[in-house]
Amino acid sequence: MNNDLIKQHGLTLEEYGVINDYLKRELTIEELGIFSAMWNEHCCYKTSKKWLKKLPTTNDIVIQGPGENAGVIDIEDNDAIAFKIESHNHPSYIEPFNGSATGVGGILRDIFTMGARPIATLNSIRFGELSNFKTKYLVNAVVKGIGHYGNCIGIPNIGGECEFDSSYNYNNLVNAMAIGHVQKDAIFYSKPKTLGALIVYIGSKTGKDGIHGASMASDVFSEDDEDSKRPSVQVGDPFMEKLLMEGCLELMDAKLIESMQDMGAAGITSSSVEMASKGNLGVEINLDKIPLREPLSAYEILLSESQERMLAVILEENNEKVKNILKKWQIDYEVIGKITDTKRVIFQSKDKIVVDLPVDIIVDSAPEYDRPFNLPLKRKDKEFDLSKLNLEKCLNNILKNINYSHKSWVFDQYDSTVMGNTINEPGLSSGIVKIHNSSKAIGATTDCNPLYIRINPEKGMCLTVCESYRNLIASNLKPMAITNNLNFASPLDQNIMGELVLSINGLKETALYFDTPIVSGNVSLYNQTNDEPIKPTPVIGCVGYNSNYKKIISNSFQKKDQQILMIGNILSPKNSPYFLQDQLGLTEISAFNDICDPDFELEKKHKNFLFDSFDDNLIESCNDISKGGIMHSLIKMIKNELGFSIKIENELDLFVECTAGYIVVISTDNYQKLLDKAESLEVNIRNLGMVTTKGFEINQSKLNFNSIYDKYLNTFSDKINN
């Protein structure tokens, strides 16, 4: 085994030395492929797991935390929700349509592998500047890929985020989240239990697509690598996924499956090793039994990441029943091996054993690094000259900025209403679906503040998580639990490693305070091309719950002449990064002041005040305040020609972020009741103005309602299409 071959497989010579010392022999090429797949960042989290272990992952509602295909939480009675977010970043840059489509397919399999029927998807996508030669191509192809897969399989896409920044010019991010509903007594796991049980292959035939996909996702690359990396991108078939989903759910419902694992990253290698490890058992698999699309070597079969495939364990007496059900769904099925008591992973091909490895060397001995990291330097407090800014300039800067424009061009390509249970359409604070045949509502949101986290990773992460909570709270949904997708550049850079460590610390601190455990997630490192790192982008997927969907609060204006109030502390412009970035257009990253401290106590106080007011039917609509400040939140609330007339002492305050900030709209009849409640709970309320018809008035300035609202609605599509 030569050094170049070892390095080509993503292993360091030191890592190979550990393997060699343990086995006391050379590896076969197939065994080298297994370590390449299982010891990369994507599969074993060798850089991040030291820090991920510090996250809170349990409380009274957690049924399954990290370690399974998806996390599962209890939502009362016999109902549970499975959810997870995953990245498909590198594939979606190299082959954007197939990369994004298979990202959706993969996350859906993670959900129904748990026995849960998928009920919704979301996504978090980020691209480079529109002036970059490739950005528009990537946006179009990624959105089409997400829409194609989700629409064909028939799962509603209920929300997400889409942002642009120069740091993603050569490394766009595609994070896909899925949510499923399952009965608590019908959850399935990947742990096999029965010696001699059959290992069966279910789904599409295996081909060459996706070979080395997991290791590709664990490495940096340059533009010159694109063509050579393209074969590592999988190609999906949503119609087969639909058949696979229905067939697997029927098998689970009939109690014919003992355990199941998606053949995702690293294909049959990862799924079989994980099964053996979780069951503390062994597996023997005959690769000659694998259904193939084309002739493949044993090495290629082991590392293929062809889509729409599952590995399951069944009792031998159920073989015919399983075969007949899958035949009805026109799904390939083959018995390929058995569960053993050897605690070894054995693959054979052509009457020869090509892999014979103890499970513990693959899993337990996988590297865990404590990489050095830098703490950010303390920023000196600076004043900025804002004297040339006024209402008109600031408003125009927001309206022409694609990050603040309405994203209907994106989500109109997704079917958000299929299945008939969608309550909130995409584009509002959170996506919301009703649990079928019940009154229960599940809300979800994906959020990140890359600029905050670049400035101060720990505080920035705290504020990101708080914003995610506010998106749910504004709709009267209780935040329950978190899935995360930690997107960073190369951890070999000590500054970037510091961003990762401090972000996880911030996530831990916030989740502990609000008792919202992290039940699943993904780490995506080495997101940089041509030595250009992305901004740190740890995406938070938060799930919320209300037992009665009729109590969901709208995020839009409802009636003319209702009063507009706000709660929250308005930041100083000099401490408002998005205000400085969007209004001045002059500051470099080093010129920003530090961001404000999170105020957990105020966040909780405002949450309790809002939930109490919702229960008393005092609030007509509500929206959180985040990037773009009060002004952007008000513009997002415009609906059915209902605008606003407000008064504020300092007009620049309309464009800065707020701590624990919400816009609250009430009937004038409830004004005094709300004030009394706020006083009793020590909440400060500011009266901004009134809801009007076709109005856009600030202090004494009457602005053109149609022009402003048209720019908000159409800037995105105009810039993408031109």
Residue position matching structure tokens 């919320």: 544
Beta bridge partners of 623: 663
Look up 436 and say whether it is catalytic. no
457 Cβ neighbours under 8 A, 6+ residues apart: 376, 498, 499, 500, 501, 502, 503, 506, 536
User: Catalytic one among 9, 42, 90, 406?
Assistant: 42
For residue 632, the surrounding DSSP H or E stretch is helix 629-637
Phi and psi at residue 659, to the nearest 5°: -90, 125
**CA distance linking residue 508 with residue 253, whole number of Å:** 37
Separation between Cα atoms, residue 250 and residue 247, nearest integer Å = 5
Cβ(110)–Cβ(241) below 8 Å: no
Q: Which residues of 14-25 are buried (b: 16+ CB within 10 A; e: fewer)?
A: ebbebbeeeeee
| Dist CA 668 CA 674 (whole Å) | 10
Question: Please, are residues 107 and 176 in contact by the beta-carbon 8 Å criterion?
Answer: yes
Q: How many of the other CB atoms lie within 10 Å of CB of 327?
A: 12
Closest alpha carbon to 172 in 209, 213, 123, 228:
123
Contact 429, 472 (CB under 8 A): yes
Structure tokens at 428: 């509002």
Counting every residue written for the chain, the total comes to 722
The dihedral sign for the CA sequence 585, 588, 591, 594: positive
Q: Please measure the distance between the N-terminal and C-terminal CA atoms of the chain and give it in whole angstroms.
A: 54
464 in Cβ contact with 447 (< 8 Å):
yes
- Active-site residue, from 88, 90, 406, 606: 88
632 is catalytic: no
Spatial distance between the Cα atoms of 310 and 435, rounded to a whole number of angstroms = 26
Helix spans in 456-599 (H): 457-473, 494-514, 577-579
Indicate which residues carry an active-site annotation.
Answer: 42, 88
